Structure 1
Amino acid sequence: MRFLPLLFLIHALGCWAIHESDVGTVDWHKKLVGIPLYKSPATAPRFASVDDRNVILTASANNVLAALDAKDGTVAWRYVFDPEDRIAGFYQNGNTVVTLSGPGGAIARGLDIKTGVLTFERRLHANSEGLLVDPNDLGKGIAIGTTSQDVYTLTNGHTVTRLDKSTGKPSWTWSGQDQSSLTLFTKLLTTTDTVYVIGVSSSFASYTLHVVSLSSSTGQVLADSEIPSSIVNASADLFAFVHSGSAFAAWLENGNARSLLLSPTLKNKQAQTLSKQSFEELLDVGLSDLGLFVGKGSRGSTVINLGDNASLGSTIGSSDASAIYAGFHADGKPHIAKSFWSTSTEKYILEVNALDASAPTILPLEHADVAHFTLHVASSGEPQVFLTTESGTVQLYTGTQVQWSREESLATTTLAEFVELPEQISAEADAKGESFTHRLLRHAVQAKDFPRYFSSFVRRFITGSYASATSAATAAADGKLSRDAFGFRQVIVTASHVGGKVFGIDSSNGDILWSRALGAGVTPSKIFTIKAVSDGVDPEVVIVTEKRSEEARDTVVFHLNALTGEDVAGSGTTIVRGQGSDAFLLDYGSKFIIILDDLQRVHFYPDNDESRRAFTDNHSKLSLPSLASKNGHTVIFGSHFAFNEDAGEHPVAYRTWELPLPKDERVQTIDRAHRGPVASLGKVLGDRTTLYKYLNPRLFIAYTVTASKSLCGLYLVDSAKGTVVYQVQLPANNGACNIQATLSENWLVYHYYESEVPSSDVHRTKGYRVVTVELYEGQGPDDKTESSDMSSFDKAATDVFAFEESYIFPHAISALAPTSTKFGISGKDLIVATKNHKIQSFPRRLLNPRRPHRKPTSQEAEEGLFQYDPIIYDDPKRVISHTYEVANVQKIVTAPALLESTSMVFAFGLDMFLTRVAPSGTFDVLSENFNKAQLVLTVSGLIAAIMFTRPMVQRKRLREKWYM
């Protein structure tokens, strides 16, 4: 019987679970892969064709391997690697993509190129044994057997393993004798019978080429030789390739291109040298199977043949350090393409050279910040160009037309802000100064829509076909941005740390409304809504950024119209010459931003009399927590503001307290509480006493780590004087502190991994924990101290007690946040993003720390409490992301809709996902099953019956009066 309340709650939660028919209506999912890793040939995008289907394989900075459909740019499949399992390279082997990842290339995997299904996975060494080098692909590589199609791997810069192409089972392993830092193997080649391991050995001023030949069948060493050479950069100046069945090593030495034909005995040590022209850089453009490379020098770029007969080819352009090259095969001929900025046309163009003295083909490109491209010839014969820009846009050109485009910089989003849209009627009421004649003409023009409006009104009145809480948010008929009936349609302004890219996203469908690139070297740090539709103007956002250049690091703000992305006040305003320490939004009738510089001087934006007057009138009430460096460590301190004549027109923040911590405890970061309207100041218990919420608006969360004791700390601190209201020490997870926490009103929830459990405690197990804490005023029920309005220096400010309970949670969590509604009347749900790529919602009732450890009494049952269960079960009905795979969520942002019952939920990381939830049910809208037509007919029938029977009743009463 004690489980009946829990079963009832689970059944009730199922009523609020998302229905299959709502998927794609109340939510959307933007599946991303991340910006391609184009700097290394091992991870750069490339075309692949299997069974007449063309895909583009790419590894991304988000540690994802993906295949994009070349037809429409959709994600055919993707494989998301763990953060510690960084991709080192991927290689096509027939219908399989073979990857090498992890420290030193610890794991080899095979994935089906059509479906992305894992065909094999083989660990080659432990992560702790991995060689950490930069760049990540150095000392790692894969080669494919010419006849067997088996996979040969180079890991840790000295180990070669042969793996079965289907199962990944190792046949043999060879490790170099010199595993010290003196010799590092970087390249791997295979011919019919021989495997060549090519690397460098360290000498006094440069590196010397070192080659080992192995038997491909047994792994036995055939020869080991050092080649007289002088290589400066082992990762950029050394190449290896197979041309016409023969293996070659090529390198750049003192500006000369050199190549060496390799044989199993390695007796040939006489390298070919191209001494007629000096080069600054050699480029492998994808034609190494023909021995063709591009050499860049002061006299221009030249095609070089480093195969059997080393020779200089045609010059393909003047010297241009920013030019990018790529090669491809078409019509049985090699082609080399070059992208560069044309001063004559003032456009970025792509020049395709056929290397047969024919005129090059010129293709104009839209973007001026091209970072990488790769080419392919479509079945139609037209060249296809897959292009990656510095700002994270990827595009496919077919001929001169853009076939599709993807904004992969969205996968690097760090900031997001919901912005309400204006009502549709407000756009018509904007022209307040229009004359009577103009208004009369406008109304006459609008009168043409009256018949349609009238018929729509009659239909709605009779059938009740109004918008429901689960209906899709629709755009205005005229295409203008305006909110829908329930406020589900808003603009989400996001900022990415790559390229300083800012987007305006339609919350109703995920479409990009506008985008802005803030410029190179710009990193957004904060985003604030400084004007809303309630101010009677278009909403405006201010993005605080750090702009880096070779000379300085400045704090720059960008003031944008949230509906269009256009600048409101110039294209970036420099506020601080130097790095700002923090930024805060203040609201005293009008909103403005204060930014602190490294001298703790206050800078205003907008810097006007109104902002300064508001700050002067209220600065004594401010208490803002910040982080700073002290003796090489981060400290938390609080500041109060004052005016100092020495600082001129800038107020100064003076430190008033510093959080005292033990000597070996270090600060990680701080996190502000979620702010919103508070509808209830207390909780009425079953015995009619009241617990009053501790609603201190100055509380913030501080995270610490004690490495020597493998402990993590969490503190709730009052920013006015540094008083610690709540603190807890938690075990670190393998030395790492990754606590996820959130604070809303008086409710604190945090998640961690319990890694240390006493062997004598049989009731505790290792695993993930969720701890829920509720803070209340005073020492018990009916003890009210009015904490929301109390000064921190009041004696009763720290008069607080807590209820606390922990639960076993089934998954690791990457982000969590409480729901937020317009007036705070609805209950709160906890939204969590788990590392198994799901978004889940948990009601506060389930996480109530006052749940009794026994059968609840009648008074407790009246409050809605039910018996405590230490396990939070993995109930699929709580998954609000439905079947979507929402990968690597970094943050969850919630925002209210116009409906008090509904909260918007936006999760972003690798992917973007938005949905809406109703923690207390949609109590403020009629049910979709409400039958208005039946109600209208019933009422109409009653009216008709009354009208019909009324004369009969009147006649009857008249007769009764006559015969009484």
Structure 2
Amino acid sequence: MRRSLASGLLLGLSSLAAAVFRDEVGDIDFHYALVGLPQPDTTFFHRPRKEDKASLVYTLSDIGILAAVNPSNGELVWRHQLAAGDDGGRDDAAPDRRGFLRAPDGEDWLAAAHGSSVQAWSALTGRNVWRVDFAGEVRDLEILELTESSRKDVLALFDEDGVTVLRRLHGGLGTVVWEFRENSRDVPLQVSNDIANVYVVSLHGAAGAYNLKVTSLEPATGARVDHWMVGLKGDIHGPADVAFVGANSAAPIVAWTNQGLTKLSVNVIGSKSKQDFALPPESVSVRVHAPHLAQSQTHFLAHIRIEEADQALPAHKAIVFHTDLKTSQIKVAYELPAFRGEGTYSTSSEGANVYFVQTTSDQTLIVSSDSHGILARWPNKQALDLHPAHAVTEVVKKAGSQDFAARSAILTKSDDWTMLRNGENDWTRREGLSDAVGAVWAEIPEAEDLAKVLADEAHTNPLSAYVHRVARHVDDLKYLPAYLAALPERLLGSIAGAEPSSTKQPLLRRDSFGFSKILVVVTRRGRVYGLDSGNHGRVIWSCNSFPLSMDRPLVLRGLVADDERGTVAMYGAGGWYAVFNASSGVALEVSVDQRRKKSGVSSTAVVYSESGKDLLPVGPDGLPAGDLPAGWDPEQTVVLRGEGETLRGVRFRAEGGDRVASQEMWRLPMRPGQKIVQVATPPSHDPIASIGRVLGDRRVLYKYLNPNSVVVAAADETTKTLSVQLVDTVSGQVLASQLHRGVDATKSISCTMAENWYTCSFFGDHSVGDGDGDKAGRAVKGYQLVMTDLYESPAPDSRGPLGDAANFSR
């Protein structure tokens, strides 16, 4: 009987222990699957399956990422990085390097080009179909829809050191079908085609005095058919003047503006004449929208942006043109009503029908290219703060009725990617967070520091302290109604495990464990974001109000948060300095020192002064690029990168006027061939939980604690080694060092440190023993995480020179 009872009890306990509890993945952490800012020429709706009517949104972003996004919910389907992965860390990186993306009508693959590479990808799965690399730089990419066979091929235009090269590539294999070369030193612009010929459009002449050159080729062989000039020499000053070059249309066009933006010139490719159309006074930009399908009507729209001196908001005017296929003549069909504010136009084709969609901050409307009658109109109900920069739209006419549906993927002025469906905001992707160059944690400032208030009360007389405390409690009563109103929801949520209501924006507040912080992110485009780490990375503010237009792309030299003042400060390479509120993003100070602007800022150092934590800008000569902070302590040592691969400990002191003298205290050169890949510093807030580690026999190993230490990681690509050194920044002494072999220095190497330990992560070879302790076993490749602990003495219960210090080793 006892055995049965014990067995039943054991079975009951085992069943209770079988429960699997949900962890906090996705609760306290967050992840943004970013792709970058979509570009108007490389973003479109496309059906990944021939027999399916559902579309995906495809884009090749400004940072060279090819991606497919589900238009229903904004979720990422797949993505690939086409641009070089090491561009992001260089000051001279060009994140706006142009890429090209095209989709053949009715096919399940995409063609993309970036740099010197041309690739084909599966539209549904994102798998690579083929890839070919050539010399030179890709200038344009198009699809040859009509070929001598049933397949569709790719046309790739290259510039190879002044030689114009056009290649026709097999759509299924990527092999070269034919190649056309021209050594005329023209500037290749774009490639286009119609039902009869392939056209290479280029700029002919000298810089600042170009005219348009069109070369027609035989589609089957690539042989030259003819070439001719369009317009007069000097009509075009550069590639930026060309507003549009059409492709895959029954009547492709090329449109350009003159230097003063007073006229728009349009040529129907294949004809040898142009037509000029006057632009409104004070026009600042012209964007042409036209269909890209061969079966679409030959209509196009010119979107003209006008900025008048006496008006605060810009005006937008749209003119629709029709092209006669027989005579190649262009005429103005109608004009759409002008509007003020921010807005854009987009084009959608369905068979022969062409629709133009106007998207503003207030509404979305559709017109047919045939007439100016409005087919559908929706107010933007949930996008009152929408400021469109450009958009792509898919228009569908509902079967059996005259009703229309439209969804537009819009890039806003604030670098958000938003989907509007019939005026409703379906989703928003924070793509402006991509291409980040710096980030820093900032504490959420407390509305009232209770400890400080109590300390102030303790230093006053009892009567004043009592009156002050009563007044403080009375003031706290204003929060009581909101607290009582939210109490039932909080109680039910804690019992049922329900998520809190999302109708109200959660407030920023500190938590007991330190999870809730503000993550300040700076991007290369110059936009700054504040994220709430305690609420799934919610964007609480973003700004682009700093007058840093001369520093694009932005080169960040330093970023630091001062939790005492609740501010974040940063320096740029151009000498500008900005301080803003960490919780609201309000700019508190923006300045450009002329001395810093003249010499530039090569690096910064985090220093402490009377005003708190700040950045000290250092010029190329190793001296401060400006005045020393108020209350500067000349005895503090600043660690700088010296010439070559060297670390230096330097002390600065003011010598009157604007002169600053430096004294080098120590120098740490790296070995020949080594390059410093990272210098890790202790966190500014590094509380010591315990000064020792208790062993199994109750003896204690006391930690080595030194806040004035840094970890220096130096890699050697030739010998495939990584040297990690712990350096005392006061004396320059190397306290500990390790050498790791078989390290791939081309991959990311990162280190961090806290308390008495530091760790480094790297990719390299690792020898696996044979089970008998012999290291001569097989070698595997992968990422390794190596951690080092430091103690006062190898002997337990020995503090060495530490004495009674609680958080420092002397």
Fold conserved (TM > 0.5)? Answer: yes
What is the TM-score normalised by the length of structure 2?
Answer: 0.69
Deviation at 1:693, TM superposition (A): 1.6
Q: In structure 1, how many angstroms separate the alpha carbons of the residues matched to 2:715 and 2:707?
A: 26
Aligned to 2:324: none
Deviation at 1:544, TM superposition (A): 1.1
Return the letter of the residue paired with 2:32: K
Distance 1:475 1:604, change over 3 A: farther
Aligned to 1:612: 630
Among candidates 337, 347, 353, match of residue 302 of structure 2? 337
Aligned to 1:262: 217
Structure with greater Cα Rg: 1
Aligned to 1:108: 120
Matching of residues 353-432 of structure 1 within 5 Å: 353-355=319-321, 356-366=332-342, 373-376=390-393, 378-379=395-396, 387-388=410-411, 392-395=415-418, 405-421=428-444
Residue 569 of structure 2 corresponds to residue 543 of structure 1: yes
What is the TM-score normalised by the length of structure 1?
Answer: 0.59
Aligned to 1:695: 705
Contact conserved, 2:723 with 2:738, CA < 8 A, in 1? yes
Please give the per-residue CA displacement for 1:203-248, whole angstroms capped at 9, x wherever unaligned. Answer: xxx52xxxxxxxxxxxxxxxxxxxxxxx1x23xx3x3222234323
Matching of residues 670-819 of structure 1 within 5 Å: 670-675=679-684, 676-731=686-741, 736=746, 738-755=748-765, 762-768=776-782, 769-786=784-801
With 382-391 and 95-104 compared, the bigger mean Cα shift is at 382-391
Matching of residues 254-293 of structure 1 within 5 Å: 254=205, 255-263=210-218, 266=223, 268-271=225-228, 273-275=230-232, 278-280=235-237, 281-286=241-246, 289=249, 290-293=251-254
Contact conserved, 2:395 with 2:405, CA < 8 A, in 1? yes
Q: In structure 2, how many angstroms separate the alpha carbons of the residues matched to 1:789 and 1:575?
A: 48
Aligned to 1:81: 81
Aligned to 1:947: none
Q: Secondary structure of 2:334's match?
A: coil
Q: In structure 1, how many angstroms separate the alpha carbons of the residues matched to 2:252 and 2:142?
A: 20
Q: Secondary structure of 1:576's match?
A: helix
Please give the per-residue CA displacement for 1:72-96, whole angstroms capped at 9, x wherever unaligned. Answer: 6x13523233765899543213252
Q: Secondary structure of 1:29's match?
A: coil
Matching of residues 63-142 of structure 1 within 5 Å: 63-70=64-71, 74-81=74-81, 84=84, 89-93=100-104, 94-100=106-112, 104-105=116-117, 108-112=120-124, 117-118=125-126, 121-124=129-132, 130-131=133-134, 133-134=136-137, 137-138=138-139
With 474-483 and 263-272 compared, the bigger mean Cα shift is at 474-483
Q: In structure 2, how many angstroms separate the alpha carbons of the residues matched to 1:185 and 1:546?
A: 41
Return the letter of the residue paired with 1:657: W
Contact conserved, 1:627 with 1:636, CA < 8 A, in 2? yes
Q: Secondary structure of 1:721's match?
A: coil
Deviation at 1:145, TM superposition (A): 5.8
Residue 312 of structure 2 corresponds to residue 346 of structure 1: yes
Deviation at 1:695, TM superposition (A): 1.5
Aligned to 1:29: 31
Aligned to 2:585: 565
Distance 1:449 1:714, change over 3 A: closer
Contact conserved, 2:749 with 2:760, CA < 8 A, in 1? yes
Aligned to 1:528: 560
Aligned to 2:165: 185
Residue 255 of structure 2 corresponds to residue 294 of structure 1: yes
Q: In structure 2, how many angstroms separate the alpha carbons of the residues matched to 1:17 and 1:624?
A: 55
Contact conserved, 1:56 with 1:69, CA < 8 A, in 2? yes
Contact conserved, 2:246 with 2:252, CA < 8 A, in 1? no
Gaps of 5+ in 1: 1-14, 125-129, 159-179, 208-230, 533-538, 548-552, 798-964
Return the letter of the residue paired with 1:668: V
Deviation at 1:765, TM superposition (A): 0.9
Q: In structure 1, how many angstroms separate the alpha carbons of the residues matched to 2:119 and 2:247?
A: 29
Deviation at 1:26, TM superposition (A): 3.5
Contact conserved, 2:759 with 2:786, CA < 8 A, in 1? yes
Please give the per-residue CA displacement for 1:329-374, whole angstroms capped at 9, x wherever unaligned. Answer: 4994522233535225433454332113412443545489999735
Deviation at 1:58, TM superposition (A): 0.8
Return the letter of the residue paired with 1:110: S
Deviation at 1:32, TM superposition (A): 2.1
Residue 270 of structure 2 corresponds to residue 252 of structure 1: no
Among candidates 632, 648, 658, match of residue 637 of structure 1? 648
Contact conserved, 1:506 with 1:513, CA < 8 A, in 2? no
Residue 641 of structure 2 corresponds to residue 627 of structure 1: yes
Distance 1:572 1:700, change over 3 A: same
Contact conserved, 1:141 with 1:186, CA < 8 A, in 2? no
Residue 86 of structure 2 corresponds to residue 59 of structure 1: no
Q: In structure 1, how many angstroms separate the alpha carbons of the residues matched to 2:135 and 2:792?
A: 53
Distance 1:485 1:707, change over 3 A: closer
Aligned to 1:856: none
With 434-443 and 728-737 compared, the bigger mean Cα shift is at 434-443
Q: In structure 2, how many angstroms separate the alpha carbons of the residues matched to 1:123 and 1:287?
A: 23
Q: In structure 1, how many angstroms separate the alpha carbons of the residues matched to 2:179 and 2:803?
A: 70
Deviation at 1:62, TM superposition (A): 4.3
Contact conserved, 2:244 with 2:256, CA < 8 A, in 1? no
Return the letter of the residue paired with 2:121: R
Contact conserved, 1:48 with 1:56, CA < 8 A, in 2? yes
Contact conserved, 1:475 with 1:482, CA < 8 A, in 2? no
Return the letter of the residue paired with 1:660: P
Please give the per-residue CA displacement for 1:877-927, whole angstroms capped at 9, x wherever unaligned. Answer: xxxxxxxxxxxxxxxxxxxxxxxxxxxxxxxxxxxxxxxxxxxxxxxxxxx
Return the letter of the residue paired with 2:390: F
Return the letter of the residue paired with 1:335: F
Contact conserved, 1:104 with 1:140, CA < 8 A, in 2? no
Q: In structure 2, how many angstroms separate the alpha carbons of the residues matched to 1:789 and 1:371?
A: 63
Deviation at 1:485, TM superposition (A): 6.8
Aligned to 1:512: 539
Identity of aligned residues (%): 16
Q: In structure 2, how many angstroms separate the alpha carbons of the residues matched to 1:785 and 1:104?
A: 62
Q: In structure 2, how many angstroms separate the alpha carbons of the residues matched to 1:445 and 1:771?
A: 53
Contact conserved, 1:699 with 1:718, CA < 8 A, in 2? yes
Q: Secondary structure of 2:225's match?
A: coil
Q: In structure 1, how many angstroms separate the alpha carbons of the residues matched to 2:768 and 2:70?
A: 53
Please give the per-residue CA displacement for 1:522-570, whole angstroms capped at 9, x wherever unaligned. Answer: 44443323244xxxxxx622221216xxxxx21x332222222112346
Deviation at 1:516, TM superposition (A): 0.8
Deviation at 1:155, TM superposition (A): 7.8
Gaps of 5+ in 2: 1-16, 88-97, 322-331, 345-385, 397-402, 458-463
Return the letter of the residue paired with 2:725: Y
What is the total number of aligned residue pairs between the two structures? 677
Deviation at 1:572, TM superposition (A): 7.3
Q: Secondary structure of 1:507's match?
A: helix
Return the letter of the residue paired with 1:721: S
Q: Secondary structure of 2:274's match?
A: strand
Distance 1:475 1:757, change over 3 A: closer
Q: In structure 2, how many angstroms separate the alpha carbons of the residues matched to 1:190 and 1:313?
A: 36
Distance 1:755 1:477, change over 3 A: closer
Q: In structure 2, how many angstroms separate the alpha carbons of the residues matched to 1:16 and 1:572?
A: 64
Q: Secondary structure of 2:236's match?
A: coil
Aligned to 2:194: 243
Aligned to 1:596: 617
Distance 1:152 1:348, change over 3 A: same
